[in-house]
């Protein structure tokens, strides 16, 4: 991808790139919600090592370009990625995990939240 990528282009690119991961992420959401770990699961997608969340997909072990960790809003706050004063805004923006996967994308384009539909 070029460095001059618009948000819609990034969204479509990630939707395609993560297609093979969608089922596993959906199953992780279901497990998290059933065990009441959090109401706000967040998937961290990355190509480099990160110390955020619990690894669930290693790009070296699957046919894909991304590793995926599962985290929570609470961890983002405790690690000061989301400031406590912004939690209300985050919750207002957060889309239902029954229908969407919340992704925190770490790439050369920076870090950003994206919500992908669980089913296409």
61: tokens are: 């072990």
**Among 45-54, 55-64, 86-95, which range has the highest average pLDDT?**
86-95
58: tokens are: 């290693």
Exposed/middle/buried for residue 118 (C-beta within 10 Å: 0-12, 13-18, 19+): middle
Give pTM, 2 decimals: 0.88
Instruction: Tell me the C-alpha distance between 30 and 113, whole Å.
Output: 20
Residue 54 · residue 43 · CB < 8 Å: no
| H helix count then E strand count, the chain | 4, 5
pLDDT at 1: 45
Q: What is the pLDDT of residues 68-92, one digit of tens each?
A: 999 999 999 999 999 999 999 999 9
Output 68 or 107, whichever has higher pLDDT: 68
């Amino acid at each position: 991808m070029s460095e001059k990528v618009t948000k819609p282009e990034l969204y479509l690119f990630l939707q395609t790139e993560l297609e093979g991961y969608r089922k596993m992420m959906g199953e992780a959401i279901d497990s998290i919600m059933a065990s009441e770990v959090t109401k706000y699961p967040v998937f961290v997608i990355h190509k480099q090592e990160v110390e955020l969340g619990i690894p669930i997909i290693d790009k070296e072990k699957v046919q894909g370009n991304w590793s995926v960790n599962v985290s929570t809003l609470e961890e983002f706050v405790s690690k000061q990625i989301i400031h406590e004063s912004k939690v209300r805004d985050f919750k207002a923006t957060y889309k239902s995990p029954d229908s969407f996967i919340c992704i925190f994308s770490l790439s050369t384009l920076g870090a950003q939240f994206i919500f992908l539909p669980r089913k296409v």
